[in-house]
Homo-oligomer: A and B are copies of this chain.
Amino acid sequence: MLKSSDIDNELFLGIDGGGSKCKAIVMNKDNQILGTGIAGPGNPLHGFEQATNSITESAKLALEDAGLAHIELNELIAGVGLAGVNLPVLFDKMQSWQHPFKHMYLATDLLIACLGAHQGQDGAVMISGTGSCGFSCIDDEEFIIGAHGFPHGDKGSGAWFGLQAAKHVLLSIDGVIEPSSMNQVLLKKLNCKDDTELVEAIAGKVATYYAQLANLVFDAAEAGDKVALGIVEEGAEYINSIARTLWAKNPKRMSMIGGLTPRLKPWLAKEIQAQLSEPLSPPEVGSVLFARKQHAKLQA
């Protein structure tokens, strides 16, 4: 049993750990953000050491930012949302971490994004950033669609758009498909003078590399380029499918999040755009809401 004075003093840490960075916030009991910290990649797919170092480092930076450098990590109740832990092997690995916090509640990046977007309430999210997927959490039941990864999945994501651009530009330069205004734009962006240099430049590249090419597809589509239009329509149609599948589950709210949202949302079907609500809070706030709920259950 906790005394109410303990609860009053409780500080929560919210972590959003992705493939490119790990974000931490410290929140007080009134859900005020006291400080923020950012460190390196927090996705355990890129290594357990890297992920746990990034989580610890971003937490310390958030405490410092809050003017709470005197507080120890073992005084914090941490909600840790991580990309990659939808894979059971990585979830177990992270769960077995001898973490420095008072308590740690581990969740997928999808769950915390959804909780953040809907302020801890039931709902659904479509995500299109470097990767893509759909997720809903209704009556404590989680549902995922997509989230398959690169290059075999993540249709409609930044990496997918970039990969399509590279594929179509190579086919277009070869004359197998029609000419595209993307051909010269892509070569220039990657500092290549021809397709041989392009093949050399993109050999073995990862999702984040391709994701940087997504904008040029939307630029070309918006200027009427047929090849780009075909790519954008195919990507949007997949996200439409995701949305329809999620909507069939009757979420109270549905949001679209992720870095590609501003470019992709206008291309979705009108009725789907109309179903979308603005996300209320970012994923790291969702991590705190998750930790609060789990912690209350355990203390009850």
- Of the candidates B163, B167, B174, the one whose C-beta lies within 8 Å of that of A145 is B174
Complex-state Cα separation, A176 to B242, whole angstroms: 8
- Judge whether A151 and B163 touch: CB under 8 Å: yes
Q: In this assembly, does A200 line the interface, its C-beta being within 8 Å of a C-beta of chain B?
A: yes
- Judge whether A202 and B245 touch: CB under 8 Å: no
Q: In this assembly, does A149 line the interface, its C-beta being within 8 Å of a C-beta of chain B?
A: yes
- Judge whether B199 and A148 touch: CB under 8 Å: yes
Q: In this assembly, does A241 line the interface, its C-beta being within 8 Å of a C-beta of chain B?
A: yes
Contacts of A192 in B (CB 8 A): none
Q: In this assembly, does A298 line the interface, its C-beta being within 8 Å of a C-beta of chain B?
A: no
Q: Chain A 183-196, CB within 8 Å of chain B: the 1/0 string?
A: 00000000000011
- Closest CB in chain B relative to A191 CB, distance in Å: 14
Complex-state Cα separation, A152 to B195, whole angstroms: 12
Q: In this assembly, does A258 line the interface, its C-beta being within 8 Å of a C-beta of chain B?
A: no
Contacts of A45 in B (CB 8 A): 203
- Of the candidates B153, B170, B241, the one whose C-beta lies within 8 Å of that of A153 is B170
Name the residue of chain B whose CB is nearest to the CB of A84. B203
- Judge whether A200 and B145 touch: CB under 8 Å: no
Q: Which of A51-59, A86-94, A112-120, A264-272 contacts B (4 or more CB under 8 A)?
A: A86-94
Q: In this assembly, does A179 line the interface, its C-beta being within 8 Å of a C-beta of chain B?
A: no
A191-225: which residues lie under 8 A (CB-CB) from chain B? 195-196, 199-200, 202-203
- Judge whether A87 and B148 touch: CB under 8 Å: no
- Judge whether B203 and A149 touch: CB under 8 Å: yes
Q: In this assembly, does A238 line the interface, its C-beta being within 8 Å of a C-beta of chain B?
A: yes
Contacts of A145 in B (CB 8 A): 174-176
- Closest CB in chain B relative to A139 CB, distance in Å: 21
Complex-state Cα separation, A171 to B146, whole angstroms: 8
Some 30 contacts from A to B, beta carbons below 8 A apart, are: A45-B203, A86-B196, A87-B199, A87-B203, A88-B196, A88-B200, A89-B200, A145-B174, A145-B175, A145-B176, A146-B174, A147-B199, A148-B167, A148-B170, A149-B199, A149-B202, A151-B151, A151-B152, A151-B163, A152-B163, A152-B170, A152-B202, A153-B167, A153-B170, A153-B199, A174-B245, A175-B245, A176-B238, A176-B241, A176-B242
